[in-house]
Every structure is written in C-alpha cells, then in structure tokens.
Amino acid sequence: LAKTTQPISMDSYEGQEVNITCSHNNIATNDYITWYQQFPSQGPRFIIQGYKTKVTNEVASLFIPADRKSSTLSLPRVSLSDTAVYYCLVRRGTGRRALTFGSGTRLQVQP
C-alpha cells in the first residue's frame, strides 16, 4: 500500500484558502486518493476522494496531477470550525477495505 507524507501542522487565518499537499510516490494504478477530517473527540469524517485531475464537492476540492504522485486538498475560505486534523489516504479500488491512516495534518485556523 502506498505510503503517504503530509505536513504535520499548518496555520491559517479565517477567510483564507488552505492547501494541504500529500505525497504518495508509489501509488499504484488502481489506487484512489481519499481525505478524511477529524475534529477533537470525534471519529474521522470522509471529505473527498479522487483518482485523477480535479474533484470538487461542497466541502473541498482535490487536485491530482497527471503523475498522481501527490495530491492537494484545497479548503476555500476556512473558518474557525475547520480546525481539525486532515488525513490523506491511498486505498485500493478493490480488495482490502480497511483504511490505513498516516500521521495527518493538524490545521489550526486563527481568527
């Protein structure tokens, strides 16, 4: 399974766009890139998933370059409530269904 690397922590201010980049150099052809968000004292929550190019939903955008060796989660106009840990995961399209979590990025949004 592809190992992921992401910054340990990031700081931002309310109203700014936040981009969190994740490196997954040995991603396989049938792997998907998935991001989860975890607030304190809660379980992780699925945010977004993609395979290539760009995916957008009501919460975030996910940018994946052609070589797929990295991905960037973009959070537009963050607010204090976006303070959380963000996990980048690479998972197979078939087979093992359990998730392998890396260390995550702790995002702190300041007023």
Partner 1 sequence: SAVISQKPSRDICQRGTSLTIQCQVDSQVTMMFWYRQQPGQSLTLIATANQGSEATYESGFVIDKFPISRPNLTFSTLTVSNMSPEDSSIYLCSVEAGGPDEQYFGPGTRLTVT
The residue ranges that bind partner 1 (CB under 8 A) are: 32, 34, 41-46, 49, 87, 91, 97-104
Strands 31-38 and 45-50, bridge-based pairing: antiparallel
Beta carbon of residue 40, minimum distance to partner 1 (angstroms, whole number): 11
Give how far Cα 9 sits from Cα of 30, 55, 67, 83, 103, Å: 29, 24, 25, 11, 10
Cβ-based neighbour number of residue 26 at 10 Å: 10
Beta carbon of residue 103, minimum distance to partner 1 (angstroms, whole number): 5
16 vs 38, beta carbon nearer partner 1: 38
45 vs 54, beta carbon nearer partner 1: 45
